[in-house]
Amino acid sequence: MAGAQDRLTGSTAGRGFAWLGGLVSRVGDRSGATLRERAHDVRGNLLLALQVGVAAGAAWAIMHDGFDAAAPIFAPVAAVGTLAASLGHRTRRTVELVIGVAVGIGVGDLLISGIGSGPVQLGLIVTLAILVTISLGGGVAALTQAAATAVLLVAFDPKMTDPAFPRIMEALVGGGVGLVVASLVLPLNPGRAVDRAARPVLESLADDLSMTGSAMADRDVDRAREALERLRRIVGRMEGWDEAVDSGREATILSPAYWNRRRAISRYAASLEYVNQAVHNSGTLVRRAVTAIEDGEPMPASLASAVGRLGDAVRLLYEELGARATPDQTRACVLAAVTEAGRAYTEGVGFSGSVVVAQVRTTASDLLRATGLERTEAIHLVRRAVKAWQRPEEPEPPSEPRRQSAH
């Protein structure tokens, strides 16, 4: 009895240590991935940091040395605000910054001269500055700048600051310096920036689809669940791609050195919408793959192959977009995945397996659209790829409605 109890205790402890070891391993993997992502972010933003530093210093020097401003606080603040703002909206942000500074200065000077300075006065001035900015139709940047300007005015002794007009001029100079540095002195390469933003999205989608195909082949439900969890994190990265596209468009307008990149940026912009749809539809695909494995449904090797080929197609899409090449290889790989899915359907799948087949078709259409094909042509090619394996007496594999969300 004691021996059995010892074995039970040992077994329990063994499972506990195995669980703890697995937890440590997952945390280590996640920490390593996080560190790699942070290093990637630092490398990707080195030039932006340099832009901000150069613009802040130049704005200060212009006002201090060129206009004899004793303490040109607002010029570097406006330069930093222009460059650190949401990429792709710097021109609009500069206008909002100037509006915010003007409101903050106007309200601040008026009230400080009448009620003095202090914590209560500070709160009242900031509140009124925000309300006035809202009444003028200012955006978030204008609201923030109006409040920050009012705070600076109260924080510094009014006798030590310059008159109101030079302060507004500081905002204009700072915003202008920021735009000049961003567009002429140290312009970001828009193609490289967009490529850098697209890479984590497309690489993650490709890896997760490949992992799902491998999990289906091995009936490894844990690996399939991991792919589903990883896929859900891609959605947040789409915002970075969208911002990079906006920034790229603005750069190709403001920076003469990059006028020739407009077509490349347009290709990435056109792909973005359909990659986003592919991410959501892939989520439904992976979730159903998890269910099919859990329920022990038939899992033809061709179905796992179809999902894996979608992953290969996404990798090819990234390579061909970056090389500005005609995405023929991507299209061929996508259609091969559809054909494999059609083969799997004829070999026999369960309910969840049939949904996977349908989602392969739907995701394939998304990826074909991402290569630049029109909707009618993409649907035609998908149907032809299905019929490449379909026998005359066999029904066509199902097709689900679009825009299925995995989340």
Compute the average pLDDT of residues 255-259: 78
CB-based contact 281:403 (threshold 8 Å)? yes
Q: What is the pLDDT of residues 50-67, one digit of tens each?
A: 888 898 899 989 988 888
Q: Which of 18-32, 78-92, 171-185, 360-374 has the highest mean pLDDT?
A: 360-374
Under 8 Å CB-to-CB from 349, ≥6 apart: which residues? 292, 297, 298, 299, 300, 303, 356, 357
Please report the pLDDT score of residue 5 as a whole number: 46
Please report the pLDDT score of residue 27 as a whole number: 46
More confident call, 253 vs 300: 300
Please report the pLDDT score of residue 32 as a whole number: 52
88 Ramachandran zone, left/alpha/beta (phi>0; psi -120 to 50): left
Nearest to 219 by CA among 126, 299, 335: 299
- Find the farthest-apart pair of alpha carbons in the chain and give their distance in angstroms, rounded: 93
Under 8 Å CB-to-CB from 304, ≥6 apart: which residues? 213, 214, 216, 217
Q: Does residue 346 register a pLDDT over 70?
A: yes
CB-based contact 386:340 (threshold 8 Å)? no
**How far is 120 from 128, CA to CA, in rounded Å?**
12
Please report the pLDDT score of residue 66 as a whole number: 85
Q: How many CA atoms lie within 13 A of 16 on its CB side?
A: 6
Q: CA 53, 55, 56, 58 torsion: positive or negative?
A: positive
Please report the pLDDT score of residue 402 as a whole number: 44
Under 8 Å CB-to-CB from 324, ≥6 apart: which residues? 264, 267
Please report the pLDDT score of residue 89 as a whole number: 58
- The first and second tokens of residue 144, run together, are 């923030």
Q: How many CA atoms lie within 13 A of 117 on its CB side?
A: 13
User: Could you give phi then psi for residue 372, rounded to 5 degrees?
Assistant: 110, 0
Q: What pLDDT band is residue 228 in, cutting at 50, 70 and 90?
A: very high
Q: What is the pLDDT of residues 120-141, one digit of tens each?
A: 878 887 888 888 878 877 777 6
Please report the pLDDT score of residue 9 as a whole number: 41
Percent of the chain's residues with pLDDT above 90: 35
Please report the pLDDT score of residue 15 as a whole number: 46
Compute the average pLDDT of residues 38-53: 75
Please report the pLDDT score of residue 101 as a whole number: 74
- The first and second tokens of residue 110, run together, are 């008026």
* Residues in the chain, total: 407
Q: Which of 34-43, 110-119, 201-210, 260-269 has the highest mean pLDDT?
A: 201-210
Q: Compute the mean pLDDT over every residue in the chain, rounded to the nearest whole number.
A: 79
CB-based contact 286:208 (threshold 8 Å)? yes
**How far is 275 from 297, CA to CA, in rounded Å?**
29
Q: What pLDDT band is residue 328 in, cutting at 50, 70 and 90?
A: very high
* Residue 184 per-residue DSSP state: I
Q: How many CA atoms lie within 13 A of 152 on its CB side?
A: 24
Please report the pLDDT score of residue 407 as a whole number: 41
Nearest to 403 by CA among 371, 369, 380, 353: 369
Cα angle: 328, vertex 325, 212; to 5 degrees: 55
Q: CA 247, 249, 254, 260 torsion: positive or negative?
A: positive
Q: Where are the alpha helices (DSSP H) in 136-163?
A: 140-155
Q: Which residues of 83-99 are buried (b: 16+ CB within 10 A; e: fewer)?
A: bbbebbbbbebbebbbb
Nearest to 12 by CA among 232, 4, 179: 4
Percent of the chain's residues with pLDDT above 70: 79
Please report the pLDDT score of residue 160 as a whole number: 47
**How far is 332 from 328, CA to CA, in rounded Å?**
6
CB-based contact 121:133 (threshold 8 Å)? no
